[in-house]
Amino acid sequence: MMRAALRAVLLLWAAAGTASACAPDALGTARVLTLKREHARYGTAQYGPLPLQKGEVVLTFDDGPVPGATDKVLQVLAQQCTQATFFMTGANLSKYPELGLRVERAGHAVALHSFAHPSLKSMTGAEQLADLEKGTQAFARVFGHEPAAYRFPYLEETPPILAALKDRGVTVASVDLGIDDWAPNDMRVDSMVARLLDRLKQAGGGIILMHDANGPTGEALPAMLKAIRDNGYKVVSLRWEDSAGLSTP
């Protein structure tokens, strides 16, 4: 409990320090949405919506942490004084634990995206659960606690993993829209911005899927965040309560 409380205080202190340095035209973070630590499912691509207001968005990044690519994303987010949720693979956390901690220390929420990013549907139930356990252990070694949320690789949910997440009280995070920021899609900055705005217009806001492991995403991120701001969307930062009711990343 004391460790969780200290983490919450440090994150609030870091956020306050960042806010004081924000440029007047920075995107910023409009509010923090604290969710219960429970087995819930969000994201209209598969489930129900987060309790967001019209025009609110949640920035999420998958597949990191990856040196260079994740560093660029963190730099851009810091410049815009805005916060995101990073769904990390256990394999990359095992390779780059300090980079994972940098994400958390910058005030962003951290969650799990499997261990090895496999196609779970091609695996036996036992193999799927082994990947989940390995990913959970890797996450806990870095952050000192198990993940509060999980995103399926390729959004391919499976009954064995769903059942295990329910038993663990872990939230399943799907998406409301994505920008298709992976090859062989068009990865030019203008194209990614256009896809983002088109899909935001259709959805009205929601959970945005991006990939910090992809270099072109970081290069396009300044333009995408500017487009979000210029079109009147507001960023919501996610947090989860711990067992003591405190807000944690």
pLDDT tens-digit map of 201-218: 999 999 999 999 999 999
Task: Determine the average pLDDT of the residues in 11-28.
Answer: 63
> Has this prediction a pTM greater than 0.75?
yes
User: 65 burial class (0-12, 13-18, 19+ CB within 10 angstroms)?
Assistant: buried
- d(Cα 225, Cα 228) in Å, to the nearest integer? 5
228 — alpha (psi -120 to 50), left (phi > 0) or beta? alpha
Is the N-terminal amide bond of 184 cis, ω within 30° of 0?
yes
Give residue 24's pLDDT. 83
Cβ–Cβ < 8 Å for 149, 40: no
Show the tokens assigned to 138: 């890797």
Question: Which residue numbers are catalytic?
Answer: 62, 211
Give residue 190's pLDDT. 97
Report which of 66, 113, 118 is spatially closest to residue 89, judged by C-alpha positions. 113
Give residue 247's pLDDT. 55
8 versus 195: the higher-pLDDT residue is 195
**CA 139 to centroid of chain Cα atoms:** 14
Give residue 249's pLDDT. 61
To the nearest whole number, what is the mean pLDDT of the chain?
91
Show the tokens assigned to 145: 């606690």
Task: Determine the average pLDDT of the residues in 187-208.
Answer: 97
- d(Cα 74, Cα 77) in Å, to the nearest integer? 5
Query: pLDDT > 90: what percent of the chain?
Result: 86
